Amino acid sequence: MLQPYHPPPTTSREEFFKDGTDQLFREAIYTWILSVERLLKCRKAFARLAGLTSSQFVVLMGAATLQKTNGVTIKEIAEHVALASTHVTTEIGRLEGKGLLAKRKHHTDRRSVLVSLTRNGEKLIERVSPAVRETNDILFRDVTLKGLISAHVVAIRLVANSSDALSLLRKATVSTAKKARS
């Protein structure tokens, strides 16, 4: 009689095992990936409503969130929306060309500029915000504040640990490539 195949565990963290397997751990990862894909689809839809690309929409929302009265630096937007400063700079230029953002010299740091929404940018944010709000209300309807905070903490830890994990994978890839050539 054939024995069922059981793949080796994908984690050695025993606290992630349930009933002797890492099945729950793997399902959690697949669900996180699916949720991120769906969130990105929503972001793309928000951008379409605004007549922008996803990156442009994120940069515009980042500026709106952070600008306060004086404006916000490109570096601050880049850190907030998790995009490279060079990419944010490019998108700011495009949004400036569309009349949605304005740049001006930083009053204390001559190497930097401050970015803020124009009145047209504010109007666009106000126009798409109801759809964003309704969508977020549906997405998070069964999530408590405690659940949101817990998920945020896990995401922060995953991002923090990802550099080490990716470094390990790069080394494994190089090692595997060397063995394949031998």
Residue-wise pLDDT tens digits, 103-159: 998 888 778 899 999 999 999 999 999 999 999 999 999 999 999 999 999 999 999
pLDDT of residue 152: 96
- The verdict on 92 and 25 lying in the same domain is yes
Domain residue limits at 160: 143-182
Structure-model confidence comparison of residues 1 and 73, the more confident one: 73
- The verdict on 73 and 152 lying in the same domain is no
Reported as a single tens digit per residue, the pLDDT across 56-88 is 999 999 999 999 888 999 999 999 999 999 999
This prediction has a pTM of 0.85
> Residue 181: pLDDT above 80?
no
- The verdict on 94 and 45 lying in the same domain is yes
- The verdict on 125 and 151 lying in the same domain is no
- The verdict on 95 and 163 lying in the same domain is no
Amino acid residing at 26: R
- The verdict on 101 and 68 lying in the same domain is yes
Q: Is residue 1 part of a domain?
A: no
- The verdict on 112 and 163 lying in the same domain is no
pLDDT band at 174 (very low <50, low <70, confident <90, very high): confident
117: Cβ–Cβ under 8 A, 6 or more apart, which residues? 60, 63, 64, 67, 100, 101, 102, 125
- The verdict on 82 and 63 lying in the same domain is yes
Number of separate domains in the chain? 2
- The verdict on 40 and 68 lying in the same domain is yes
